[in-house]
Each structure stands twice: as structure tokens, then as C-alpha cells.
Amino acid sequence: MDVLQKTKTTKDRVKLPISFDAERMYKEYCALQPKNFEYYNVIQLRAPAHLIDTTLPFPPPVTDYADGSWTDWLDSKELESSPYLKSIIDSFKEITTVTLVRLLRLAPHSEVKAHQDPTLGLEVEKSVIRLTIPIIDNDHTTFYLNSKPVNMQLGECWYLKLTDTHSVVNHGDTERVNLTIDMIPNKNLRTLIQNSH
């Protein structure tokens, strides 16, 4: 654990000083021709290599899967066919190792119950963090973190301390879609998060 991590406490929600074109992300999402779904659905954009290329062997078992080093990671055909989304992911690959990338879809009039992700916090040693970029939202959807709403706008990039309790409610008539990017937090990324507001 480095000195920076020891001496600074990170807020539970941080809007990073970067943003992306929500309309371009939306168009590429629609081009993926997502199927109808109920409640909750995931479109994989980057995943363990053996899940993308099924000719590859399963990686050997390990005692700790938290930091993603147990496998190689590959972009999916969905990401390869989405140049703007791919450029976003590639920009983070220039900073650090990117592991799991997904489009998380929550159906209208659905909710994600309160839960914690015990390895998705900057303070967790040898783990990954998750950045969230909203693509589709509505005025009746709320993401709660520690029982308080997180006011994320389309195209913004947020670090959320998901080791804390969080939930999502969508009382609207449209789906909610977020792009989530998991990555290994190195010194530069920690500094970016801890110096953002």
C-alpha cells in the first residue's frame, strides 16, 4: 500500500474531470441491437479471454480473483464494432490495465437491491476499481450510495466507492444504461481520483 493511499481518504463519490459524448455512446449502443430483456441485463464489452475466444483454455484456479490478474482480458466483438466506445476504453488502457467492461442495463420500473461489492474500492489493496459513465437515464432513476443520491449526468465519468452500500431504482418508463469500466488503480489514477471533486 503506497503512501498516497495511506494518507488520503477518498470520498465515496468522485466526478472525474473528464467526460464523453453521450449521444455517440447512445448511437453505438443502439447499433448493437440489444434484445428485449426483463429487469437487468449486461452487454459484455471486455471480459476474460477464454470467454471471448472459446478456443482458449480456462485459466488455472487462484486464491484471489479481485485484481483481475488471474486471466488475460480481451475486447468483445461488440466493442470492436463500436469505435467510439472502443476509443474510450483504449484511453484508459493507456493509463492502466483495464479488466472487465460492460454496458449495464436496468429495465423500466425495476431496481437493484442494496448491496456492497467488497473488492471495488480504492482503499482495498490488490483489487480493481470501477468507473461509471451514464449513457441512458431518466428523471425517475436514482443511484443511491450510502443512502444518498448520486447525481450523475450523461457522459460524465464517476468513481464510486462500491464497497459501501449502494442501490438503484428506476421508476421511469425507459431503461437506464451505464458503461462501467473496471481497472487496476495505479498511482496516477489514484492521484486523479483523490484530487477530483
pLDDT digits 0-9 by tens, 37-96 = 888 999 999 999 999 999 999 999 988 889 999 999 999 999 999 999 999 999 999 999
- State the pLDDT at residue 71: 94
Closest Cα partner for 188 from 12, 11, 16, 13? 16
Instruction: Please say whether the beta carbons of 121 and 150 come within 8 A.
Output: no
pLDDT band of residue 7 (cuts 50, 70, 90) is very low
Whether pLDDT at 6 is above 60: no
- pLDDT of the residue at 9: 58
What superfamily in CATH does domain 3-194 come from? B-lactam Antibiotic, Isopenicillin N Synthase; Chain (2.60.120.330)
DSSP tally for the chain: helices H, then strands E? 6, 11
Given the DSSP bridges, would you call strands 129-136 and 156-160 parallel, antiparallel or unpaired? antiparallel
155-168: pLDDT as tens digits: 999 999 999 999 99
Task: Average the pLDDT over 13-27 and give the result.
Answer: 97
Backbone angles phi, psi at 8, to 5 degrees: -125, 135
Q: Would the pLDDT of 33 be above 90?
A: no
Q: Which one has a higher pLDDT value, 22 or 4?
A: 22
Q: What does the block give as the cell for 42? A: 449486461
Interval 104-149: pLDDT, tens: 999 999 999 999 999 999 999 889 999 999 999 999 999 999 999 9
Distance CA 92, CA 183 (A): 8
- Written as one string, the DSSP assignment of 34-45 is PPP-SSEEEEEE
Neighbours of 89 (CB within 10 A): 18
168-190 pLDDT per residue, tens: 999 999 999 999 999 999 998 99
Q: What is the pLDDT of residue 35?
A: 82
141, β-bridge pairs = 170
Contact 21, 197 (CB under 8 A): no
Share in percent of the chain as helix, strand, coil (round to 5) = 20, 35, 45
